[in-house]
Structure formats: structure tokens, C-alpha cells
Amino acid sequence: MSLCTIGTRSVVTIEPEAPVAAVACKMNDRSVGSVVVVDGDKPIGMITDRDLVIRVLCKGRDPLKTTAKDVMTTPLTTISEGADSLRAASRMREAHVRRLPILDESGELAGIVCIDDLAYHLARCHQELAEAISAFPIPHEGG
């Protein structure tokens, strides 16, 4: 199954020069906890709601003067569109991240997958496996 099917193709993005106040508003308007910072069609960083608290509010920075590029996480940890869910989970663990932008063959943003998407996918796989196993009679001896 494609990572874009497990995650989503609808990625909330913002330009590097956008003020973080606009980042926060975009997160609020789209009900998301992160945005991918893009330069054209190329993802270059990520900002989470936690980043806004830690890197802007706690530091007393002006959200109208501080830009997305000032607080984005970079280098960006990504994964290719052709990777499987286990590789995505490993990549998240290795990089200590909860979200992975998905890149197509040309390096452009194709989607995003988060740890919750992977957990839900894994739960569905386990359910399907349990149903397949329960369809077979189990020989029972004794007792």
C-alpha cells in the first residue's frame, strides 16, 4: 500500500518568508499541527505547533517579524513515495520525528504520513490478519 494512501496527499504548506503568525493561523484554519515549508515545489523544512511554542513564544520573539525559515526544522526528514509503512516507521524512529513528508521521484512533495496514520494502518492490518486466521478451523484435542 502506498504511503500516500496511508497518509494524505493534502499537505499544508507555507513559504519560507511567511511570518510565523501566518503559520499559526494556517494551522488553526486547516486544523493541523504542522506545516511543510516549501521553496517552489520543494519541501525545505517543517514547523509544528510545538516549534511555535518553543522557538517563538518561549523566546519572546515577535510572531509578525519572525519568519517560517527562522524557526523551521531543517534538514527535513522525508521518505520516498515508493517506501513501505515499516520503512516509514523506522525512519521516524531513527530521526525522532512524528511526521514524514512524502516525496515523488522528482523530489516534489507528494503527501505526508504521520505516526498516527501508521498506527491506524497497523491496527487495520492486525484486524485483517485476525479475521483471516479465525476463518480457519483450529483442530482441538482433548480436554
Q: Mind listing the pLDDT tens digit for each residue in 27-46?
A: 999 999 999 999 988 999 99
- 139 in any annotated domain: no
- 140 in any annotated domain: no
For range 102-124, the mean pLDDT = 89
How far apart are alpha carbons 6 and 9 in whole angstroms? 10
For range 67-91, the mean pLDDT = 94
Percent of the chain with pLDDT over 90: 68
Percent of the chain with pLDDT over 70: 95
Q: What is the CA angle 116-107-56, rounded to 5?
A: 55
For range 68-94, the mean pLDDT = 94
CATH of the domain at 127: 3.10.580.10
- 66 in any annotated domain: yes
pLDDT at position 143, please? Answer: 55
Number of H helices, E strands in the chain: 6, 6
> Could you report the per-residue pLDDT of 8-30, keeping only the tens digit for each?
888 999 999 999 999 999 999 99
How far apart are alpha carbons 100 and 42 in whole angstroms? 14
Pair type for strands 34-39 and 13-14: parallel
- 143 in any annotated domain: no
**pTM flag (> 0.85):** no
- 88 in any annotated domain: yes
Which whole-number Å values give the CA distances from 72 to 17, 97, 125, 135, 139, in the listed order?
11, 14, 34, 50, 58
| Look-up of cell digits 488553526 | 28
Confidence of residue 127 (pLDDT cuts 50, 70, 90): confident
- 85 in any annotated domain: yes
Provide the domain count of the chain. 1
What domain range is 72 assigned to? 3-134
Q: Tell me how crowded residue 31 is: count the other CB atoms within 10 A of its CB.
A: 7
